[in-house]
Chain A
Amino acid sequence: MEIVLAIMIGILYAAGIYMILRRSLVKLILGIIILGNGANLLIFLLGRITKGSPPIIPGDLKIFEAAYADPIPQALILTAIVISFGLQSFAIILIKRAYKVVKTDDLDEMNAIDQDS
């Protein structure tokens, strides 16, 4: 299970970075989204995967007796997902505005700011 996840995270990171390096704005956003998903899965994987033992102490015990799933990575992922969702929606509006104003989605042509003003 871990090895499959590890390979998948690798693919997501690679695909994300590849998409960010493309010139199109839409692919840039897709790249950021994919990269974000890769990072979330990485937190999930590195928090150690424990199957079928939720972190709930049975009523008659004071402490955990067996290994239990760590709830913190899931809380972290939830936070990261919410944040990246906000950022992505901002990004989509931004590229829509940029496309309307600059009239191109090619990053190489967005170079007006590099000229002297």
Chain B
Amino acid sequence: MTQQLVLYPLLLQLFLSIILMFSWKRISWQRVISILGGILNLGVSIWLFAYIWENGTQTVQAGNWEAPFGITFVADTLAVTLVLLTSISGVAVSAFSASSIIPARLKFGYFPIFHFLLLGLIGAFLTGDIFNLYVWFEIIIISSFVLITLGGEKAQLEGAVKYFTLNILASMIFLTAIAVLYGLTGSLNMADLSIKVAAIENRGLVEITAILFLVAFGIKAAVFPLYFWLPASYHTPPSAVSAIFGGLLTKVGVYALIRVFTLIFVGDVFMQDTILVMAILTLISGGLGALIQTNLRKVFSYLIICHIGYMIIGLGMYTEVAIAGTIFYLIHDIVVKTNLFMVGGLIYRIKGTNNIKSLGGLYAEYPRLSLLFAIPLFSLVGIPPLSGFWPKLSLLTAGFNDQSWWAIGAILFASLITLVIIAKVWSNVVWKDKVELPKRLNFRYFENLNKTRKIQLVAPIVFLSIISLYIGFGAEHVQQLSTRVAGELMDNQQYIDAVFKTGQNLKP
């Protein structure tokens, strides 16, 4: 029963998408199946997480082909943590989409594709094979292409062309990198690669391969010189889609960077310095970009870029404390960014616009909702004791230990800029006097929705806010988790042993 446990979240998502495809035209069924399936998936992910927490890294060899010959699925603590977060965000966005996505879009297979996207994400986190990772990435991007274009509005299509081109270019670079790596080592299993890459004498070629991986995942994760597709596309689809994109799609790039640069290309000082510089520039340029935007969702898009810097900077410093900070930030950021875009969507549903200048008076109309919005917004800034504060503490400690003053400066600067932006958003949207807006025809305003729909819009935000609060107030537990993940990542012998030992046990 537990032997194949690693695969259950994957299989469940696949099963859900197939069921949803069979009820293609029955939207009300799809809503129910998607939400219930999401809750079930959350349960399975918690089970998997608890099992890994107790028993350590587990592996499954597809078709019982022992490593390194078959495709391995590895559930270490990092992977299951991310699977759990995917399930949390997934169920929240399912519920939010059920009410916020218009039926015309739902009729064209929104929910099946959404679950294919989650399938791809979970697969990417669990796989232990570099080519299999490529395949999961392709599943993710093709689902995201459909989600971003679904509806076919002008802005969506324009955004989609840019999103499509850069993502497919990233995939090609990733494929090139895999080709070169296979030519160098003759292996695709990540644990096996870790051993074989360390033994290669031609370090120049290894470094070039590492740079190819850095560029490919850098485009996906939207780091400094490679992020321009993100602000051009993330604000175009419906906000439920932006929520899952903002919460998870860039993070899968960050995950891939963390995995590749802690397992395969280890201890390369030049690469670490490059990552550090990229991270510092990401923090600064993302923050400055967000400062001048007036579209609420574009502000959030630039904040995604800015905060990717926090995750990459820990990877650049490459000490256990720094990696722990990175992991903590990743956990915090997935929850908060998903929530932030849903908040943006709800504000749009209330007011009918995204422009900060025409928004206002939210506190006077919806005081309780405004207080709810305060949780994700101020968690994002990291006002203690909310969740954004603790990972920055770890990162700053790591910076002081390393004496990398530029990194410390960038972290503090980006924090300050985020504070300024959130203060600006808060005072404009919530506190400013109400701006009279012309009523839009054929627009479903929040106040006109029935009670179930309202609950479906607000409940996911409440759910994710509670999780954010838990990450903030229960920081001790999350810190314990992050430190454990960092320990596993720094000592990659554990990962390698887990992959190969299971291989021996399964021998007939």
Complex: A79 Cα to B161 Cα, angstroms: 24
Q: Which of B141, B175, B235 contacts A80 (CB 8 A)?
A: B175
B interface residues, tally (CB under 8 Å):
40
Complex: A87 Cα to B160 Cα, angstroms: 13
- Complex interface residues of chain A between 90 and 108 (CB less than 8 A to chain B): 90-91, 94-95, 97-98, 101-102, 107
**Contact B154–A43 (Cβ < 8 Å):** no
Q: Which of B152, B155, B294 contacts A112 (CB 8 A)?
A: B155
Interface residues of B (CB under 8 A from A): 131, 135, 138, 141-142, 145-146, 149, 152-155, 157-162, 164-165, 168-169, 172, 175-176, 178-180, 182-183, 186, 188, 232-233, 235-236, 294-295, 354-355
Residues of A within 8 A of B145 (CB): 87, 90, 94
**Contact B168–A87 (Cβ < 8 Å):** yes
Which 9 pairs from chain A and chain B are nearest by CB?
Answer: A46-B183, A43-B179, A98-B157, A110-B158, A42-B179, A39-B175, A83-B138, A113-B155, A46-B179
Complex: A95 Cα to B233 Cα, angstroms: 16
**Contact B138–A113 (Cβ < 8 Å):** no
**Contact B135–A79 (Cβ < 8 Å):** yes
**Contact A101–B157 (Cβ < 8 Å):** yes
Complex: A43 Cα to B182 Cα, angstroms: 8
Residues of B within 8 A of A86 (CB): 142
**Contact B154–A101 (Cβ < 8 Å):** yes
**Contact A97–B179 (Cβ < 8 Å):** no
Residues of A within 8 A of B159 (CB): 113
**Contact B232–A113 (Cβ < 8 Å):** yes
Residues of A within 8 A of B146 (CB): 90
A53 close to chain B: CB less than 8 A: no
**Contact A97–B149 (Cβ < 8 Å):** yes
A76 close to chain B: CB less than 8 A: yes
Q: How far is the CB of B134 from chain A (nearest CB, A)?
A: 8
Given A39-B175, A90-B142, check contact A98 B158 (CB 8 Å).
yes
A5 close to chain B: CB less than 8 A: no
Given A87-B142, A94-B164, check contact A102 B175 (CB 8 Å).
no
- Can you name the residue of chain A whose Cβ is closest to the Cβ of B297? A117
Residues of A within 8 A of B153 (CB): 101
**Contact B154–A102 (Cβ < 8 Å):** yes
Residues of B within 8 A of A95 (CB): 161
Q: How far is the CB of B189 from chain A (nearest CB, A)?
A: 11
**Contact A20–B161 (Cβ < 8 Å):** no
A54 close to chain B: CB less than 8 A: no
**Contact A83–B135 (Cβ < 8 Å):** yes
**Contact A43–B149 (Cβ < 8 Å):** no
**Contact A28–B138 (Cβ < 8 Å):** no
Complex: A110 Cα to B149 Cα, angstroms: 15
- Can you name the residue of chain B whose Cβ is closest to the Cβ of A46? B183
